[in-house]
Amino acid sequence: MRELAEQMLEIYKEKFAKPGDKMPEIVEVSGEEFYGEGYEDSDRRIPDITKARTLLNWEPRWGMREMLEATMSYYVNDYAEKVLGRSDAPASA
């Protein structure tokens, strides 16, 4: 999760931040602290799409960075305009 957060912060700096914008700090929080007492999680998680490839003949159309950039572009631009009523959002990447 930390690597994902770091990649998102990097993309935001490159594509959407305005000069002088203060970047947020990435804060690590335990599962129990975030979800509450009694939360249990897997000690080890290794994402794998082998079954999807094998059983469904499926391949992802977008790479991780490409998908993150598109998703973040939507939220940075469209969210600010539609939800917050602002038109000063950064231009699309």
Q: What confidence tens digit (pLDDT) does each residue in 25-76 have?
A: 999 998 889 899 888 877 777 889 999 999 999 999 999 999 999 999 998 8
C-alpha span between 82 and 86 (Å, rounded)? 7
Residues 6+ apart with CB under 8 A from 64: 7
pLDDT at residue 30 in the model: 87
pLDDT at residue 93 in the model: 47
pLDDT grade for 14, boundaries at 50, 70 and 90: very high
Number of H helices, E strands in the chain: 5, 0
Residues 6+ apart with CB under 8 A from 72: 8, 11, 12, 15, 16, 93
Question: Where are the domains positioned within the chain?
Answer: 2-82
User: Is a pLDDT exceeding 80 seen at residue 89?
Assistant: no
* Token code pair at residue 32: 């129990």
Burial class (CB within 10 angstroms; exposed 0-12, middle 13-18, buried 19+) of 69: buried
Could you give the C-alpha distances from 72 to 4, 55, 77, in angstroms and in order?
Answer: 13, 31, 8
